[in-house]
Amino acid sequence: MGWGKCVPEKVLTNDDLAAMVDTSDEWIVERTGIRQRHVVGEGQATTALALGAAREALERADADPREVELIIVATLTPDHPMPATACQVQNALGATRAGAFDLNAGCSGFVYALAMGEAAIAAGTYRTVLVIGADTMSTVVDWQDRSTAVLFGDGAGAVLLQATLEEHGVLATLLGSDGAGDELLMIPAGGSAQRASHDTVAAGLHHVQMNGRQVYRFAARMLPEATEVVVRDAGLTLDAVDWIIPHQANARIIEAAAQRLQLPLERFVINVDAYGNTSAASVPIALCEAADDGRIQPGQHLVLVGFGAGLTWAAAVLRWPTAAPEAQRAALHRIWRAWLYRWAALRTGLWRGLSRLTIWLGRLKQRGRRGG
């Protein structure tokens, strides 16, 4: 398994937000635990973050992008309605043998995608699957609405799943949904139900709208419930779980879940203070941080659990690999990957240039016929 994360360089602190909207650092920290968040700059989109996380995961696993057979990107903020962000990542990686698609399950998206990737490998259809959670929530937030503006940030996290005979990896998964709660957390316009127009833009219907009180109640109930069920499905008890890595929506939700599960807060990976709610990216970013700083050790049991728009929830139990992939890195492989990325960029430029030239020549030819 390989893992990687990517966040924008730009940091927006609570004090920065206080200059934009009626709020304060004390108010935000008290209600959410958030102190800052990373946000994309002008011209930076979801694909850039997803690609950064994917490359780091491939580097960690010392894997050839051409060995990747499937790429799943969980996101609710794709670069475009079509094509899929996953296809942009596939192209930039030079993963020429991979299928690619996006998945939208809100903040549960990464764990949903992880379950899909694990199922594809378990079925024997694929051996290597790249799973990414990436969102640029700053692009869909109303920065004048303090009830949502203070919550969200941008980022991406990725894991590379590979078939193995070893007794580690994904042990159990759980997926759930309740569409009756769709209006509690949604972006009303921009789809086929409410098509983009001057009126929808003026009304702010392309921004995140949330019933915070109801979403909090749902999350505080579902996080511990999903954790208990998936741990039982894995044939384990909570005592055997070393780390719970929840969706980083609000520190108060995580604290409430810890109390209900009767577990010390020290067994939860929490980084919401530094990143805010990065939607589908929050669970993999927290996973990567805990793995990088040595908190997660080989053979330990982890629970990943998410909840979000839909309403959706998802959980997975993992046993962390016993071998450290970074010890297997090879300088030659790193050079190869760097060359492959450059070739992919060159190929894309040539393809688009030729396409535009073909269109231009076709139009020129049509004009010549009309003139004749």
Catalytic positions are 107, 247, 277
Q: How far apart are CA 257 and CA 235, in angstroms?
A: 21
Q: Which residues contact 285 (CB under 8 A, 6 or more apart)?
A: 5, 7, 155, 156, 157, 248, 271, 275, 278
Question: What token pair was written down for 186?
Answer: 């949604």
Tell me the residue type at 278: T
Q: How far apart are CA 49 and CA 53, in angstroms?
A: 6
Element (H, E) at 308: strand 301-308
Q: Which residues contact 85 (CB under 8 A, 6 or more apart)?
A: 46, 47, 50, 73, 75, 78, 79, 102, 134
Residue 88: how many CB atoms within 10 A of its CB?
24
Question: What are the phi and psi torsion angles at 65 (to 5°)?
Answer: -55, -30
Tell me the residue type at 7: V
Name the nearest CA neighbour of 73 among 100, 93, 99: 100
